[in-house]
Chain A
């Protein structure tokens, strides 16, 4: 009798162990991710300044936020940055992948060179480019000492062009990764179809345009999703490269949120901007993740 009850207890324990093992991670996720998201969203409707306070103010923070020129500049910069960053990374990534796929000697050497920037911190990248692009000691100065005295390149100090230096450094960091994504896609394409099309006299250009590139659609989608979420999260790179300047020329939503929350003591507005960032990423990621998880069923 006792032994069967014992066995019963054991099997029930066995049934519970998996859930018990999962529970610390679940608890952490529910509290630290979803609980915190709710808390931040709640704060965006309160009059919080230096510390969280709980006086309800409705949409006031959002109202204020959308009237701030600082926020408007951040969004405009995000538009320029994200647009160029995504398009240029995709073009370079696709181009390099196609070129590398032509039975290139030394591919094993080139690929890791294209990809190593992904292993670096954005602070390191930012530091290197900051001084390389600095007109006083970097490229401009070098060109002038080499004899091209009229050479000018002061984008990083120029309000109208500084945002493009952020694009440059960000493209440098991630385009190799995009290349790897496309290369994996290219290597998965069935060569038989290509051979058949070649027999029919299709030119290389047509092969790529009509057969190969359309088959890369999943890689395009992944690249877009990854790049857009990286763009929205861009923070460290701007801090290291330009510090948001000159003036506010390279402020992005992430740097806006940080300075309003932690240095300007406008936590309510900071939380409102963070909420908008989250919603934007959610609008891109949720359909993507949903489709990815569904496919697997």
Chain B
């Protein structure tokens, strides 16, 4: 999407160009501002922030807030830091991403290469499920998790994320497999290859890029989820986002802004790293979720 040949044919004068660059840079600064604020203030002593120095670089550099946010800050009733919640998030995200991506790949395969009556309606139903306001399922989901004995557990949360994630993963794989030559599959069928052989030998080897898109999308979404975590987790299974919110909103004692900022970066770090390493795929996932086709 960035080839020069695709650029517009519009020609602009020098003054206009300077203005354009200025506006673009200003917006760049606007987007970077909160990140700057979080970074510089997470490595300062508290007095420097409360003394009006939020925008300044640290005079005294300290990693104390990071250590405190990670391992000793008060979250809820325990001074555990964010560490256990970070692991809760990992334990929730990894299985949910793997399962929802595998199911999405299989669904996409069936929906494009083994078409049957009403498959478009089924897909439409799956797609609409991506966009429902999750408030509508909170109450029955809480009941269901209770009935299944998964209330307040990381596994329960992982299940919830699989259920509400397969719509998107199916969408990705369906659109990707839709343009995969069906003749290849028919040929393999004539040669006697079965359903799984075709998937395993023919489709899967060429599914690398879309699998990355799906994994990154699911990882980012599930890691960043707050509503399900806040609704279904108990104190021991809370994900990172819920713990961060508890840290920042806690009304007892001095507000340690530097610790809050360090905690926010810790919560943002995994998705930010994924974005830096594989941003292209993340953007592809975003676009596929909006402008389908």
* A interface, CB within 8 angstroms of B: 14, 17-19, 21-22, 24-26, 28-29, 32-37, 39-41, 43, 52, 92, 95-96, 99-104, 107-108, 110-125, 127-132, 136-139, 141-142, 144-145, 172, 176-177, 180-181, 183-184, 186-187, 189, 191, 194-195, 198, 204, 207, 212, 218-219, 222-223, 225-226, 229, 232-233, 235-236, 239-240, 243, 254, 257-258, 261-262, 267, 270-271, 273-275, 277-278, 281-282, 285-286, 289-290, 292-293, 295-297
Contacts and interface: CB of A to CB of B under 8 A. Distances in A.
B275 A18 contact: no
A35 B144 CA distance: 11
B187 interface: no
Contacts of B37: 128, 131-132
Given A29-B163, A34-B129, A137-B257, 7 more contacts: A29-B126, A122-B224, A123-B224, A204-B11, A236-B227, A257-B135, A267-B139
A295 B283 CA distance: 24
Contacts of B23: 95, 99
A127 B287 contact: no
B20 A104 contact: yes
Interface stretch (B149-157, B201-209, B242-250): B242-250
Contact of A122 (B32, B163, B226, B279): B226
Contact of A119 (B4, B164, B275): B275
B131 to A, nearest CB: 5
Interface string B113-134: 0101000101111111101111
Contact of B54 (A96, A137, A183, A273): A137
Interface stretch (B58-66, B73-81, B265-273): B265-273
Given A123-B267, A293-B123, A142 B52 contact: yes
Contacts of A273: 135
Interface string B7-35: 11111100001001101100110111111
A118 B286 contact: yes
B282 interface: yes
A254 B133 contact: yes
Contacts of B224: 120-123
B184 interface: no
B50 A137 contact: yes
Contacts of A136: 50
B271 A121 contact: yes
Nearest to B245: A123
Contacts of A110: 24, 28
B22 to A, nearest CB: 10
Contact of B9 (A138, A195, A219, A254): A195
